[in-house]
Amino acid sequence: MSRLVIVANRVPDPRERGASAGGLAVALKDALMRRDAMWFGWSGATAPETSTTPKEFRHGRTAYVTLDLGEEDYARYYQGFANGALWPVLHYRLGIAKFAREDWVGYQRVNAAFAAALAPLLKPDDTIWIHDFHLFLMAAELRKLGCRQKIGFFLHVPFPPRSVFLGLPKALDVLAALAAHDAIGVQTEDDAENLRATLLADGDAAAAARVGAFPVGIDAAGFASLAARRFRTKEVATLRASLVDRALAIGVDRLDYTKGLPQRIAGFGKLLERFPHHLGKVTFLQVAPVSRGDVATYRALRRELDESVGRINGQYAEPDWAPIRYITRAVARPTLAGYMRLARIGLVTPLRDGMNLVAKEYVAAQDPADPGVLILSRFAGASNDLEGALLVNPLDPDDIAEALDIALDMRAEERLARWKTMDAAVRTTTAAVWCRNFLAALEGSVSSAEPGQANDSRRTARRRAA
């Protein structure tokens, strides 16, 4: 079997466990155990200049190969174009996107630098799999350097309708670069339709035919047994004792404006206002560790949440009960798994989300004899797979409050029936299945690496823009 080269903005440290173990590393575990592999990307460290010679570290059958980012590149590529422009636009939030031409130049520079550092390390029959919006241009850069290997791309976040995407300055350049891939994966059929339509109208029609939906999953059996084990630990017993027989609703997110946290807190406040029979009978635990805390939009979000949690607690708390517990420190995933099993309600209400693995983890964590209820945003990719959830519009606090009221009063038979359909789905579309399906599409594809192809499609896009 050929070597698998994973390229992602961040390279995990396989020696770290606990809170940081998660996301892509868990999803790719299966593939990385079966074959020789290299994981290439940013180390997470900054240096005065972006390094040109990578550092290498081997663990099992995988070589972890990393570059440090220069201070200027970190600001322009990572904070600027990737997080300041692409992240909001891809989540349909054109109005809060920040664009500067210097950021775009930095984004191009880092994608080219990554390609230049990776190209000499490649073997002719490697399979290359590039992940996410940080590295839209990298395959085109590899092609310029003469790389003819199969290259796949997976977008973990949504792809918006064409009219939204074209609001991104340099959108056509990003689209043109997609033509350098042999397979392009997105999370849902909606994302696939949006991307295909955009490529057909403004990019490379042949690339549109290489787009497919590959919903990402979790290691459901692994997470279920982790939750069952952790449920019996002292930390879960302590949380349970502190609830004094009250129902627990749980939210677990990175502190990010796409996750719908202000609306969720407001929805919980509406529950207490409109359905007062739940007063004193339910506690909402929100875990949301600060991410990207150095960016102004995130600082403003944190202030807003601090205020609204304080207001609701001030209004409704009793000396022996506060409605909301809010933690902005990281909590280790195994502990969260135990907490999720304890929770009667999983509250997952992103305004827009590629998939949302927390929703799937909440389902997997439940006790099959007494499962809880998932309240899920219609705009999370996961809502396509999880039909047994109570679906809500995350922008509408009243809708969230009504779903909470229904969930709190739901009888055991209905909870079980809903959970069973979701558990079956989570155990079918696992991380391993996602990985296998994408790699089968990529490795079975006809190569797009004809000389000059990426450049030709770039010219086509320019002509159309003119």
Active site residues: 156, 353
- Torsion angle defined by CA atoms of residues 393, 298, 382 and 5, in that order, rounded to the nearest 10 degrees: 160
Q: In the bound complex, what is the minimum distance in angstroms from residue 86's beta carbon to ligand ADQ?
A: 12
Candidate residues 29, 254, 274, 436; the one interacting with ligand ADQ per rule CB under 6 A = 254
Asked if 357 is part of the footprint of ligand ADQ (rule: CB under 6 A), the reply reads yes
Do residues 171 and 159 touch, judged by C-beta distance below 8 A? no
* Dist. CA 54–CA 41, nearest whole Å: 9
The piece of 73-81, 237-245, 347-355, 390-398 that touches ligand ADQ (CB under 6 A) is 347-355
**Residue with smaller CB distance to ligand ADQ, 212 or 280:** 212
Do residues 367 and 341 touch, judged by C-beta distance below 8 A? yes
Q: In the bound complex, what is the minimum distance in angstroms from residue 321's beta carbon to ligand ADQ?
A: 24
Q: In the bound complex, what is the minimum distance in angstroms from residue 135's beta carbon to ligand ADQ?
A: 14
Cα separation of the two ends of the chain: 45
The piece of 140-148, 284-292, 390-398, 450-458 that touches ligand ADQ (CB under 6 A) is 284-292
Asked if 156 is part of the footprint of ligand ADQ (rule: CB under 6 A), the reply reads yes
Asked if 353 is part of the footprint of ligand ADQ (rule: CB under 6 A), the reply reads yes
Candidate residues 13, 14, 23, 212; the one interacting with ligand ADQ per rule CB under 6 A = 23
**Any bridge partners for residue 150, and if so which?**
127
Q: Which residues fall within 8 angstroms of residue 441, CB to CB, at 6 or more apart?
A: 152, 183, 185, 212, 214
The piece of 10-18, 188-196, 240-248, 352-360 that touches ligand ADQ (CB under 6 A) is 352-360
Residue 175 in 3-state DSSP? helix
Candidate residues 2, 13, 14, 22; the one interacting with ligand ADQ per rule CB under 6 A = 22
The piece of 198-206, 276-284, 351-359, 453-461 that touches ligand ADQ (CB under 6 A) is 351-359
Q: Which two tokens stand for residue 169?
A: 């300055």
* Dist. CA 208–CA 29, nearest whole Å: 29
Would you list the DSSP string of 231-284? HTSHHHHHHHHHHTT-EEEEEE--B-GGG-HHHHHHHHHHHHHH-GGGTTTEEE
H helices, E strands: number in the chain = 19, 14
Would you list the DSSP string of 277-337? GGTTTEEEEEE--B-STTSHHHHHHHHHHHHHHHHHHHHH-BTTB-SEEEE-S---HHHHH
Asked if 358 is part of the footprint of ligand ADQ (rule: CB under 6 A), the reply reads yes
**Residue with smaller CB distance to ligand ADQ, 10 or 458:** 10
Candidate residues 287, 324, 342, 351; the one interacting with ligand ADQ per rule CB under 6 A = 287
Q: In the bound complex, what is the minimum distance in angstroms from residue 27's beta carbon to ligand ADQ?
A: 7
Candidate residues 173, 253, 385, 402; the one interacting with ligand ADQ per rule CB under 6 A = 253
Q: Which two tokens stand for residue 235?
A: 């930390």
Binding site for ligand ADQ (CB under 6 A): 19, 22-23, 156-157, 216, 252-254, 287-289, 330-331, 333, 336, 353-358, 361
